[in-house]
Amino acid sequence: MGLFDRALKDAINKGVQSAVSKAVEGAVRPAADKLAQQTAHAVTDKASEHIGEIKASVNEANAAMAEANEAARDVTPEQWNQAFSYLEGMANDAAKKMKLCPICGEMVKGEMQFCPHCGAKLPDKTLAELALCPNCGKQNPPGSDFCSECGAKLPGKQLAEEAEAEKDRAVLARWSERLPQFPVWSCGGSHFDLAELEEGRFCFSAWFSGDSAAAQRSVRLYREALKEQGFRQAGRYPSEEHLYKMVDGVCWHADTEHCFEGDADAPSLYFARGDEPSGGFDYVKPEAPKKKAGGLLGSLFG
């Protein structure tokens, strides 16, 4: 559910709740007031003398409550729909004058350039304009991604994608700065994240929106990119999933073994500085001892 839909639903819920509570209050309040008064009296004038009246007031209040419940039950589906489309109309009107902050999700006035809540640059277009089809001109409900008339991508969706691409570019720029030893990711996906888990240890993740085959392909591609930059298998237990490179005496390690321990469409790659494989980077498997010529042939020809 989009931010706008949620805001709309909240508004409707609030409207309905306040209408119901007003109705209940109107019905119950006079009886409750009377009850409170009489209770106060009763306390001062010895409760026992008024017990019968108090009971009557309680009954009166209960009856009023039942009446209010009955009234709420009488609202027909048509009335609910009317209330809903009325509120929807109001929301659509509001959308013409409002913008949605792409960073913190608050609704702000359409004439604002920067979000008063978080300082982010606001889009030029209002919520309604972001749902206006650039292809056929249909005004779609605010928050729509595609035109319900012709299927064209709407400006709001376009803007969200551009903002996402901008964030991804920023992540890759940080990669170049923090992890220059490893080839910068160019294997697809979106919603990149690069986290420094602890000093010298990083985790990078990308998202392939449900396409786990594409996610696996991207990791294979990245292993190729690592090898092209001189990373290789090393140590006592060489593996395609752990590639190492020695630069000026420091061992750099790319770990793609635990890529898919989270979501199948969002690989996580781990990078570490000074992480040597078991047995050491230069580990060489000892050669099997040469067989001595022996046995029957050996004794015949030896």
User: Residues interacting with Zn ion, by CB under 5 A?
Assistant: 101, 103-104, 115, 117-118, 120, 133, 135-136, 138, 147, 149-150, 152
Nearer to Zn ion, 75 or 120 (CB): 120
The helix-helix angle for 51-73 and 3-44 (nearest 10°) equals: 160
Q: How far is the CB of 209 from Zn ion (least distance, A)?
A: 23
Least distance in angstroms from the C-beta of 148 to Zn ion? 8
**What DSSP line would sit under 49-60, residue for residue?**
GGHHHHHHHHHH
Q: Which residues contact residue 67 at a Cβ distance below 8 angstroms, ignoring those fewer than 6 apart?
A: 27
Q: What's the closest the beta carbon of residue 145 comes to Zn ion, in angstroms?
A: 12
Count Cβ atoms within 10 A of the Cβ of residue 298 and give its class: 0-12 exposed, 13-18 middle, 19 or more buried. Answer: exposed
Q: How far is the CB of 12 from Zn ion (least distance, A)?
A: 24
- Which CB sits closer to Zn ion, 101 or 187? 101
Q: In whole angstroms, how close is the CB of 1 to Zn ion at the nearest point?
A: 19
**Complex with Zn ion: residue 131 or 243, whichever CB lies closer:** 131
Residues sharing a CB contact under 8 Å with residue 132, sequence separation 6 or more, in sequence order: 138, 139, 140, 154, 155
Q: Which is nearer to Zn ion, 127 or 147 (CB)?
A: 147
**Smallest distance, Å, CB 122 to Zn ion?**
8
Nearer Cβ to Zn ion, position 82 or 148?
148
Query: Kind of pairing, strands 201-207 and 190-198?
Result: antiparallel
28: DSSP letter: H
Alpha helices, H only, 47-108: 51-73, 77-95
Cα 25 from Cα 22, distance rounded (Å): 5
**Nearest distance from residue 233's CB to Zn ion, in Å?**
48
List of residues 6+ apart from 138 with CB closer than 8 A:
132, 147, 148, 149, 150
- The nearer residue to Zn ion, 138 or 201, going by C-beta atoms, is 138
* d(C-alpha 2, C-alpha 146), whole Å: 13
- Sheet of strand 201-207: strand arrangement: 190-198, 201-207, 268-273, 250-255, 242-247
CA-based torsion, 163, 168, 173, 178: positive or negative: positive
Tokens of 204: 């990078």
Nearer to Zn ion, 98 or 251 (CB): 98
In terms of CB distance, is 120 or 219 closer to Zn ion? 120
Minimum distance between the CB of residue 102 and Zn ion, rounded to whole angstroms? 8
